[in-house]
Amino acid sequence: MRNYTHSDWFFGKAPCTRGCCVYWFVNEHARETATKPKIQARRVYQGQTLIELLVFIVVIGIVLAASISTFQTVLRYNNRPGTILVASQLADARMNIIIQQRRVNGFSNISDPCSSGSMAACAGLNTFAMNGGYVVSSTISAVSNGAQTVTVTVNGAGNATNVVRFVQ
């Protein structure tokens, strides 16, 4: 279909009836479309509208806000595996010192040399625990029925407990 301009308008002459002629101002485009059946041209989709773009931005903002809030909650309340591993290794190291002390002093004299801090092996362990925010403690139960229980507990940044039962 061609584009029409102002030059498409012209004076037309109606067929003469009974000797009188009528002239009228005619738009050729209007005359063409009046004689042809009306066909609606399909509108070509040329991208997103501003409303669609704004809705997309709002939805993405809500999703991001919810996910960031969820991640912050998870990170705040999780037990960090690295700190639990360090706490477990501290408990094992302290228990190994107590076991070596038992081998030297015998069953009836089980003690924790690190509780007084006198052994050189305990100094490094205690310094590492304090710098990492850990508190290492041990309890040795009294002998009952030929058995003694030693419990080493680590609290602080990570929690761990190591229990050993010695039987005579």
Question: How far is Cα 67 from Cα 155, in angstroms, rounded to an integer?
Answer: 31
**Per-residue confidence of the chain (168 residues) as pLDDT tens digits?**
555 455 544 445 555 555 555 445 555 555 555 565 556 666 666 778 899 999 999 999 999 999 999 888 877 766 666 777 888 888 888 888 888 888 888 777 788 888 776 677 788 888 888 888 888 888 888 777 777 888 888 888 767 777 777 675
| b/e burial code for range 116-148 (CB count within 10 A of at least 16 → b) | eeeeeebeebbeebeeeebebebebeeeeeeeb
pTM of the entire structure?
Answer: 0.49
**Which residues, at least 6 apart from 152, have a Cβ–Cβ distance to it below 8 Å?**
91, 94, 95, 98, 136, 137, 138, 161, 162, 163
Reference 162, options 113, 109, 97; nearest CA is: 97
- Where would I find the beta strands (DSSP E) of the chain? 9-13, 23-27, 134-140, 147-156, 160-167
Domain ranges across the chain = 81-167
